[in-house]
Each structure stands twice: as structure tokens, then as C-alpha cells.
Structure 1
Amino acid sequence: MIDLYMWPTPNAHKVTLFLEETGLPYRTVEVNIGAGDQFKPQFLAISPNNKMPAIVDPDGPDGQPISVFESGAILIYLAEKTGRFLPAAPRARYEVLQWLMFQMASVGPMLGQAHHFRDYATEKLPYAIDRYSNESRRIYNVVEKRLADRDYVAGEYSIADMAIFPWFLHHERQGVELGELPRVKRWMDAINARPATVRALAVMADRRPPKPGPQNEQQREILFGSKQFEKR
């Protein structure tokens, strides 16, 4: 059984989407990022960048336990382990991988910054809010154009869709309206309708805070400061 170290964030739900689609047995290990669990030595041993999700698979490629951190790497690992959602044919494989890298390099970082400056930052900086909200809209439009002649971003449903989809669930927090993006909305509706998606998004749903943003200075320091990591 795979141990999934997570908190209910878009990056963690990338992995629950895959696990629920494939039926791989797993159990969740709570990493409360608001309480600083990501800085505990036992977690840093498997995720040295103090970020979740991470997994520990007792049955690694060589039959020995393996730990994997970074959500994109986890998706590739699980896809190769199961032979699912990442094509074997080179051209189709790289089609998926390039869109997975698009998520890792652009979708997550830019939309994450939009979340931060729109919801979390105590000082509302118009330049930062406009910068990342505009970049979020640009990214959504990249996907909108991509979906003009296909159902999913790389043709068939794949780990690329699983990576992008959880971030787009929070479009309103990024200053994006789906009414202007009919193809993205159709794509999201199709993924939302999958039974595995319903199960995946329900994982740790009760841990989600009632509203975005840390509630006090201590939580802000834990989530965004460097001192917690420097102490270790």
C-alpha cells in the first residue's frame, strides 16, 4: 500500500486523481502545512524541499521501498508503475509530458502567486495582483486554444489533465471567469463527471479551511517564512 503524504491542496489532488482512477491501494498521511508538519524531520527525509505531496511505495521499481517527492515526478512514477495515463509511444508520450511540464512551470507557480497576492498577502499590492491575475488569464487561454480540436490537453485523458485540473478548480480566486472560456469549462465538466474525480476531491475535504488565507501571523510565518526551515 502506497503512503500518500498530503494536505488537501491542488498539488496533492493531482495524486489522488491518479490513485482513484487506477485503484492503486493507498493510505493518506496527514501533513498539516498550517501547523508546520512539513518541517518535521520524518517528512523532510522523504521530501527535502518541505513540500507535499510525497509518496512512499513499499514496492519500488527494484522491489525495494522508494520515496518520491514533487507532484509531477509522482505522476510520472505512478504512470510508469501502472502503465496508465502516459502513453508508451514516444510522440504521444512527449505530448503528455510537455503539457505536464507546462503545469509544473507555469500553471502552478503563476496561479499560486495569484492566490497569494489576492487572498493571503496582508498588504494588497495592485501591481502584484494585476500581474499574476493577468498571467493566470493568459494561461487559461493557452488551454482554451489547445482544447479547440481535442477533448483533453494531450488527446486522451492523461496525467497532464490530472495536473492542470485541480488548479483550475479555484479559477475565481485567480480572477478568471469560466464564462469566457467555454472549452475549458467543457473540459472541467467532463473531468468533474468522472467517478474517480469525485472520490479524489473528497480526500481530506473536511480539512479544508472555511476561507482562503492563513488566519494569524504564526500561520503566515509557517506557510511563507523561511525561519521554520532554517531552524532545522
Structure 2
Amino acid sequence: MDSIGSIARRGRRAGGSKVDQAYFALKRAIVSGSLAPETSIDKNEWCATFDVSRLSITTAINRLAFEGLVLVEPQRGSYVARIHLEDVRQWMLMRRALEIEVVAACAADMSERAIEALGQNLAYQKAAISSGDLEGFHEFDTRFHRQMTEGRNLARLGEVLDPIRTHLERVRRTLLPEPGRPEGTFREHEAIYHAIAAREPARAKHEMANHLDRVSRELQAFVAKHPGFFDE
């Protein structure tokens, strides 16, 4: 999990106005789990980090509040919002329905070049796990799923899936450090890849369902251990 300092540095490198930099850095800190639910946001700290006024930081926080990532209360100040569990369940349901159909379409007639690119992505995932690079693994994991819609020229489905994946980002980042999760995810990705390469749509759908259902099971186990992270 990234430190606040490294997230802030990345935000500054992203360019744009200082308000934008602060906004994207704060958002990344929340989504990545570096700022956990219920964590107070120290405006003075972020003002110093980005060398901006309190008004600028307040503007960034208000944008995050509009997106539901931050809560602002008169007597309490600004703090990271909990994750709404019912929203997560619905996003997961939508993602499951769509990605199962996407992977079947890929197994039916994805190009050999696109399949080869999926295999290359798996090699990068394996290297990231071996080196303990969770951030790198997460990026290749996200890219692996996006490559299916792109490789099969399913742009409209990609337009629907991308915001769903963004909504689920906090959950995925929260679960990723759990022991054994990257390795398990990699094995499931391998199974999906082999089903696509073998041109077996039914098998591909089964492997994708297994992959996404495991995320749901792990979420429930995590909620039981960390109820303070979530609201119903």
C-alpha cells in the first residue's frame, strides 16, 4: 500500500492545477486504502504538502464529498467515508453478468494477437508477485480484464464496465494485501486465459464466474473481520 508521501509525489507529477493535484492525490490515498475509512483528513497537512491555501484543499475535499468518498460534518470535520456494502454488492452483480459474457465472446473469436497479449500480461503479473510489487500486480490485474474488451473490440461494453470497476476499486485495493490473494488471483487469471486460448466459451464463463465469485466470498469474510470499514 502506498504511503501518503509517495501518493502526494505522484499527484504533483500528474500536473494540472494544485487543486487538481491535491484532489487526485487524496482520491488515490482513499481508493488505495492508505487513508482508511473513518480517517480524519488533516487540512493543514495537505496544505503544507501541496503548498496551497485551505480554500484549495477544501475545494478538493468537496469534490471527493460529492463522489461519496469523503464526509464533511460541522463538528467533526472531514473524514474518509465508509464503503457502502449494498452498493458494492450491486456493482459486483453487474460486473459478473457483463464480464462472463465478455469472456465467452473472447473465447469464441478473439484474435491470436490479442490472446498473445493476455499471455504477456500474465507474465508481468507473475513477475510482480515474485518481486512483492502489489501496486504493479494490481495494475496488471486491472489491465488483464480491460484487455478482453479492447482485444475483442467491445468498446461499448468497456464504457459500461470501466465505471463499475472504478467504483469497486476501493474494495479490490482493500482485499489485495490479504495473504495469498495475489497468488490466487493469478491462478484464476491463468485458468481464464487457457480457456480463451483453447476457444472454449463455456469453460471461459465458468472460470470467470469462479474468479469473480471468490472476490465476493472474500469480501464477506473481510466485512466480518473489519465491520468499521463498511455501511449497509
Bucket of the pairwise TM-score, normalised by the shorter protein: under 0.3
Higher helix share: 2
**TM-score (normalised: structure 1):** 0.23
